[in-house]
A = this chain, B = another copy of it.
Amino acid sequence: MASVRQVNIAIIGAGGVGKCFLSQLEQLAKRRPEPKLALVYISTSKKAIYNKDYASIGLDSAIASLASASEAPLAPSALADYLNGSSSKAIIVDNTSSQDVADAYPLFLSRGISVVTPNKKAFSGSYKLWQDIFQASAKSGARVFHESSVGAGLPVISTLKDLVETGDEVTKIEGVFSGTMSFLFNSFAPTSGSGGKWSAEVKKAKELGYTEPDPRDDLNGLDVARKLTILARLAGLEVESPTSFPVQSLIPKELESVASGDEFLEKLPAFDAQMEETKAGAEKEGKVVRFVGSIDVASKQVKVGLEKFDRSHPIAALKGSDNIISFYTKRYGSNPLIIQGAGAGGEVTAMGVTSDLLKVLSQLS
């Protein structure tokens, strides 16, 4: 286990997660002087900073420097050339949610550059891209980790990998995978009390910043479907894409094509009766309704949508915007292994990225 003196880091993306990651990286570099973590590239979609001699960009001033930068970002192959020009090992941290960046992972990995990222696109896109990524990694030895692509910093991916790699048989995975959906249903159909009107809860969630700018981007279920795709593939299922299994959209058909999120919110109250009926149906059985994803490994069934749960069920008892993920396996028997907590937010998402970075560092040599 020889020691590595310097590792070059290239960060793509400097939004909410990117800024939190940068701050965690700064703290990390202070606590762990060896190996030296040199930030040699950082870019937004429009600008980039890097130095021909691989001098480290100040971690505390990178965001300010980006604002006044004039260089355009490097194309993937040019970025790989640049990083390969140094004798130090390199790690790319992709803090975007860009499909274009994700498509370049096989290139980066095949050139010996490790990748850590919260970006779901690479692992929930086409199955071909998934295979290309892991084949490139296996061939070159470069690592790829994406803990924050499901449940942010919660140890979801690492736990599923451990279960599979130690030979346990995962039979079922079930949970609430969206902080937005969690918040909406915990308020709309609480385990005690009657909850608000559906359209009012959606409006409130939007005002609190818990939804995407257009709430339909949460309500269509695609974000959850992407996370389920990733977990199902790790559990051994060859899921073709996040649209290749049943996903229930909570957008009324009539509002799918209205022009804006604001118009959607304005017209949503007219459809409250539908959701109210679903809630009442569950209540009649003493249950509450939740928006969940599930993977039945044996029957290869993946689905996303509304389900009813007993009020005492851990999924029903969830609080705030927490996620919960239950792994049912042969070894764990009838009581699943459960992981629960905040599954969204800049700091906890960046934490998953930072711990992935630490994992790569521990495996570099």
Contact = CB atoms under 8 A, between A and B. Distances in A.
Which one of A3, A191, A317, A335 has the highest number of Cβ atoms from chain B below 10 Å of its Cβ? A335
Contacts of A363: 1, 362-363
A253 interface: no
B342 A339 contact: no
B331 A351 contact: yes
Interface in A286-345: 312, 314, 317, 319-320, 322, 331-342, 345
Which one of A312, A339, A341, A347 has the highest number of Cβ atoms from chain B below 10 Å of its Cβ? A341
Given A331-B348, A341-B335, A355 B155 contact: no
A317 B320 contact: no
Which one of A24, A159, A162, A355 has the highest number of Cβ atoms from chain B below 10 Å of its Cβ? A162
B333 A342 contact: yes
A27 B167 CA distance: 7
Contacts of A28: 165-167
Nearest to A342: B332
A319 B335 contact: yes
Contacts of A166: 24, 28, 153, 351, 354-355, 358
A167 B142 CA distance: 25
A340 B340 contact: yes
A155 B155 contact: yes
Interface string A26-56: 0110010000000000000000000000000
The contact size tier of chain A is 35 or more
Interface in A132-174: 141-142, 153-155, 158-159, 162-163, 165-168
A365 interface: yes
B2 A365 contact: yes
A365 B89 CA distance: 15
A282 interface: no
Nearest to A142: B1
Given A337-B340, A340-B340, A362-B363, A331 B167 contact: no
Given A339-B338, A362-B363, A351 B162 contact: yes
B348 A341 contact: no
A317 B322 contact: no
A337 B341 contact: yes
Contacts of A154: 337
Contacts of A347: 331
A265 interface: no
A364 interface: yes
A342 B335 contact: yes
A347 B333 CA distance: 11
A162 to B, nearest CB: 4
Q: Which 9 A-B pairs have the closest CB atoms?
A: A365-B365, A337-B341, A1-B141, A338-B340, A166-B354, A162-B355, A27-B167, A331-B347, A166-B351
21 contacts: A1-B141, A1-B363, A24-B166, A24-B167, A28-B165, A155-B159, A162-B355, A162-B358, A166-B354, A168-B351, A314-B314, A314-B317, A320-B335, A322-B335, A331-B347, A333-B342, A335-B341, A335-B342, A337-B342, A363-B363, A365-B365
Given A3-B141, A314-B314, 11 more contacts: A1-B364, A2-B365, A28-B166, A153-B166, A162-B358, A319-B335, A333-B342, A335-B341, A337-B339, A338-B341, A365-B365
